[in-house]
Amino acid sequence: MIACTLDSHSPPKYPKGWPALLGGGLVNIAFGTYYMWSVFVPALEHEFGWSRPQTSLVSTIDMVMLASMFTVAGMFQNRLGVRTVATIGGMLFSLGMLLASFVHSLPMLYLTSGLMVGTGLGFGFLAPITVGSKWFPNHRGLVNGFAIAVFGAGSGIFGPFAGLLIERVGWRETFQILAGIFLVLTMTGAYLLKDPPPGYVGPPGKATGKGRPRPSSRDVPTSRVLRDPVFIALWIAHALGTTAGTMVISQLVPFARLSGLNARTAAFAITVGAIGSASGRLFSGWMSDHFGRLPALRTVIAISMMVTPMLYLWRGDVLVFYPLLCAVYYCYGTQISVYASLVGDFWGLKYMPTNYGVLLLAWGCAGVGGPYIGSHVFQSTGSYRDAFFGAAGLACVALIILALVRIPQTSPIAPDAVGAQATRL
């Protein structure tokens, strides 16, 4: 645990930031349940006769709204404060879940479970990441990993619970029960969130070697970052590298059922995936603090390129299916975590909400591409084979791009941190 000390003759140097981390955890554990959308898919398709591409579009809308609203939330947060932004996010998310229980048409489903829930996600997802980075600037990989790991763990905690509720009380009542739970979690978490006091200096990092990533000493505004070739390369790599994860997430329960798993075993796959995603976000975030961001990204994308087609090939054996699924989610979760810290390393913390918000749009594109590839390939061929192998091909392209990325000239990070000389792409 990071020690925090108080100086009676000056403003607190290391005030306790743990309540803010706890608040962020409560907020994110609720928001992360959007990953369990696929548990509702069979019931909705059975009742309304909707197709797989139609129900998969909800995941796409959620991710696009999350990514696009993240930047908007950053602008509001600078004016209204982190607590207000998190409160708005929690209320929109919970209200969207509640209203989704009354839908009878696709447009209403897209408006409630898509637009409203997604907007709430964008506002709520911002706060824990930015607050954690401010309280613990020298441990951003670990802290961001924790915040995003909890986000990924939400579906693992509530996924089986939601599946059981759907069987017993129906999908409408399940939406209503979850909406009430999430409102309590997000409002409590938002209350605990706050920025550190002016002049605050975070706890020092234990690792002091030159290979340890550090925030850039120059805060680069978003208008300049958008013209940086390194940022453009990272944006493309992020979009391509996370497509495999978004595809599997959007199709998980139907894919598992098609592979021969029963309803409960397929629902438990959500928990397995959440464990993998949370592990990747937390452990790889910590590893990237010590060994560099780019090596961590390159490693997991190479693994993703191999395990994604393997998941399809060995889908019929649950003892192999679960570990491979965990690996796919691990690689996906790592990318979400490490990219957040990489932005601070390369372009500073001051403009991180908007800089990372623009980079997160790449994840939103993956949220469009992944579900689209999975659902349309299945609808046209009756199989997910081409979708899994195609996602592996996209990961290969992302790996090539990251192999060419070099540290931007604005960053003071030691070359050893990423295994490359300080030159541009």
Tell which wins on pLDDT, 3 or 341: 341
- pLDDT mean over 23-34: 84
- pLDDT mean over 280-289: 76
Query: For residue 204, what pLDDT is reported?
Result: 62
Tell which wins on pLDDT, 288 or 50: 50
For 120-167, what is each residue's pLDDT tens digit?
988 887 777 777 767 776 666 677 667 767 776 777 788 888 888 999
Query: For residue 99, what pLDDT is reported?
Result: 96
pLDDT over 90 (residue 307)? yes
For the chain, the average pLDDT equals 81
Query: For residue 157, what pLDDT is reported?
Result: 80
What is each CA distance from 30 to 138, 155, 162, 277, 394, in whole angstroms?
Answer: 27, 8, 13, 15, 31
Tell which wins on pLDDT, 154 or 184: 184
Tell which wins on pLDDT, 21 or 108: 108
Q: What percent of the chain has pLDDT over 70?
A: 85
Query: For residue 3, what pLDDT is reported?
Result: 39
Query: For residue 155, what pLDDT is reported?
Result: 75
207 C-beta neighbours (distance < 10 Å), count = 13
Cα(250)–Cα(100) distance, integer angstroms: 18
Cα(132)–Cα(24) distance, integer angstroms: 8
For 85-99, what is each residue's pLDDT tens digit?
899 999 999 999 999
CA proximity to 370, closest of 148, 28, 106, 38:
38
Question: Residue 322 gets which letter from DSSP?
Answer: H
Query: For residue 13, what pLDDT is reported?
Result: 47
Query: For residue 192, what pLDDT is reported?
Result: 87
Estimate to the nearest angstrom the gap between the alpha carbon of 373 and the chain centroid. Answer: 20
Q: How many helices (H) and strands (E) does the chain have?
A: 16, 0
Query: For residue 1, what pLDDT is reported?
Result: 36
Query: For residue 201, what pLDDT is reported?
Result: 64
pLDDT band at 404 (very low <50, low <70, confident <90, very high): very high
Cα(253)–Cα(39) distance, integer angstroms: 6
Q: Note the CATH number of domain 18-196+213-417.
A: 1.20.1250.20
Query: For residue 409, what pLDDT is reported?
Result: 60
Length of the chain: 425
CA proximity to 129, closest of 367, 347, 369, 357:
357
Tell which wins on pLDDT, 8 or 79: 79
What does the DSSP assignment read for 231-284? HHHHHHHHHHHTHHHHHHHHHHHHHHHHTT--HHHHHHHHHHHHHHHHHHHHHH
Burial class of residue 239 in the structure, from the number of CB atoms within 10 Å of its CB (0-12 exposed, 13-18 middle, 19+ buried): buried
Tokens 């994840």, located at residue:
363
- pLDDT mean over 112-123: 92
Lowest mean pLDDT among 34-48, 269-283, 299-313, 394-408: 269-283
Query: For residue 412, what pLDDT is reported?
Result: 46
Query: For residue 112, what pLDDT is reported?
Result: 96
Estimate to the nearest angstrom the gap between the alpha carbon of 48 and the chain centroid. Answer: 30
Q: Is the torsion defined by CA of 88, 91, 94, 100 positive or negative?
A: negative
Query: For residue 420, what pLDDT is reported?
Result: 38
Cα(282)–Cα(139) distance, integer angstroms: 12
Cα(272)–Cα(267) distance, integer angstroms: 9
Specify whether the CB–CB gap between 151 and 129 falls below 8 A: no
